[in-house]
Structure 1
Amino acid sequence: MFASIGLRTALRSSCCVLRESSAVSSAWSVQPLLTGPSVSRGSFAIPPPVRHYARVAKKKKPGPESQLSDLPPTLLKKDYAAVPLAQTTDDVVKRLLSLELASHTEKLQLKTEQLIAKVQRDESDHHSVEVQVAILTARIRNLQEHLQKHHKDKANKRRMLMAIDRRKKLLKNLRLVRYDAFEKVCEQLSITYTFPPEYYRRATRRWLAKKEFCIKVFKAVQKQKAEQKLKMKQELSSTGAQVAESKATETQ
């Protein structure tokens, strides 16, 4: 009887020890993963669950103002601006025909027409130098806005540089031929014309020696040409004298 009672007490004590050891091991296994103030339940500390907060959204830097930002959304598209029926339709159709739902290409066409209207000579002018400068200006500004967002687009960068060079040539010729039209174009389109830099070369010793040698060669060649011209004149004069003498003898 006493043996059975002793076995029961030993088994109870061993079960309690096992429960305590398992609870402690579970607490130690969770403790390094959880943070925050712990909550005590009985004789063991249970930490609270971890809260993973989202990152703060980065504020986008405001980019430069687009050339299409001054176009009102209620303005009709280019193809429907001259149609009188488009002005009297309901609001849904007007919204479909306006710039509110227009594509970027349609907005760019309308902006190009506005720039052309500022500088063209008359209503039938579509191929003059001023109109070509206006078209190139709209294209260049559109490519500049595109490259500010996609700076690795090499193909469009090449197209923009080619358009800039073409516009420079047109403005240079217009400045030489019609200066008043050149000033009007620059003022209406907000273009700043900069003169090309003067040619500059570093004067090294080798360049100075080469230049001096070239000058000597040039002078020697000019001297030889002068001597040849003098010989030719002497030969012509001697042949002329001989011809005159032969004529005189024939007449006698």
Structure 2
Amino acid sequence: MFSSFGLRAILKSSVGVLRESSGLYPAVSVRPWSCCASAQLAGAAASKDKGIFAVQPPVRHYARVAKTKKTGPESQLSDLPPTMLKMEYASVPLAQTTDDLVKRLLSLELASHKEKLQLKKEQLIAKVQRDENDRNSVEVQVAVLTARIRNYQDHLQKHHKDKANKRRMLMAIDRRKKLLKNLRLVHFDTFERVCEQLGITYTFPPEYYRRATRRWLAKKEFCIKVFKAVQKQKAEQNMKRQLSTTETKEAKAPEAQT
């Protein structure tokens, strides 16, 4: 460490050298009594060529590449225009001719998520219902569950650690699978129309699979042995029954001749 007197002497002598330095690098204008003189002296490097005291060019610190955000699937509510009126005001004729400010309050622009979801649910029900008063058929239940499942999926895209809503979504998916399975067995044309209108891809359940443990293999082998033993016993009983019937017929035959 330099003492305070030595540091002042060096700074005074360096001022003149810096003024006479070449124009290759900008010279540092150091004030001997400034508070930041020591910092500038520490950051400056002495060039050995021709004994010039000059500052090296600044080092460029390049910024990191910006991370691109992952764009997930669009929400089911994205196709609802913000100028569309709410469900309870859509059938009111006065709401169509009212002021722009009032119409904005009655539109979906300032509506809550619950109101938008209810409107989307009604749109899906209108696609598959049998008539205007149909609110409890299998097709309507499938439409309600579809809107609910897609809402859960949109929520889990942002909050993937929400285990409670994930469980509710899986329960709704299982319920919809059972309804679609029964509808496919009873009315196949209606099943195809519902899947097409709601954009559902029906996949068949996987085949039954069970891990073959030693206990399960031993139990299976034992069941096969029992099954064969029972079949053999039934065959013997059938043979005895056939022999007894033939003996009775042969015994009755001479009696009938006499």
Superposition pairs for residues 11-160 of structure 1, below 5 Å?
19-21=8-10, 29-31=39-41, 58-160=67-169
Residue type at the aligned position of 2:173: I
Residue matched to 2:241: none
Q: Kindly indicate whether residue 157 of structure 2 is the aligned counterpart of residue 168 of structure 1.
A: no
Greater share of residues in helix: 1
Q: Deviations over 1:48-94 (max 9, x none)?
A: 99999987754433222111111111110011111111111011101
Residue 192 of structure 1 aligns to a residue in which SS? coil
TM-aligned CA distance change 1:18 to 1:30, over 3 Å? closer
Are the equivalent residues in 1 in contact too, given 2:76–2:150 (CA < 8 A)? yes
Q: Which has the larger radius of gyration?
A: 1
Are the equivalent residues in 1 in contact too, given 2:124–2:198 (CA < 8 A)? yes
Residue matched to 2:202: 193
Post-superposition shift, 1:123? 0.3
Are the equivalent residues in 2 in contact too, given 1:119–1:185 (CA < 8 A)? yes
TM-aligned CA distance change 1:31 to 1:152, over 3 Å? farther
Are the equivalent residues in 2 in contact too, given 1:120–1:130 (CA < 8 A)? yes
Q: Deviations over 1:193-244 (max 9, x none)?
A: 111111134556654443221122344467779999xxxxxxxxxxxxxxxx
Q: Deviations over 1:4-33 (max 9, x none)?
A: xxxxxxxxxxx986631466797564455x
Are the equivalent residues in 2 in contact too, given 1:31–1:47 (CA < 8 A)? no
- Of residues 156, 180, 196, the one that matches 2:189 is 180
Report the more deviating stretch, 76-85 or 43-52.
43-52
TM-aligned CA distance change 1:63 to 1:211, over 3 Å? closer
Are the equivalent residues in 2 in contact too, given 1:35–1:48 (CA < 8 A)? no
Are the equivalent residues in 1 in contact too, given 2:44–2:54 (CA < 8 A)? no
TM-score, with normalisation over the residues of structure 1? 0.69
Q: Return the alpha-carbon distance in structure 2 between the equivalents of residues 193 and 123 of structure 1.
A: 27
Residue 199 of structure 1 aligns to a residue in which SS? coil
Q: Kindly indicate whether residue 204 of structure 2 is the aligned counterpart of residue 215 of structure 1.
A: no
TM-aligned CA distance change 1:31 to 1:48, over 3 Å? farther
Post-superposition shift, 1:150? 1.4
TM-aligned CA distance change 1:213 to 1:94, over 3 Å? same
Q: Return the alpha-carbon distance in structure 1 between the equivalents of residues 59 and 170 of structure 2.
A: 56
Report the more deviating stretch, 50-59 or 128-137.
50-59
Task: Give the superposed CA RMSD.
Answer: 3.9
List alignment gaps of at least 5 residues for structure 2: 15-31, 46-51, 238-258
Are the equivalent residues in 1 in contact too, given 2:121–2:147 (CA < 8 A)? yes
Q: Return the alpha-carbon distance in structure 2 between the equivalents of residues 16 and 94 of structure 1.
A: 80
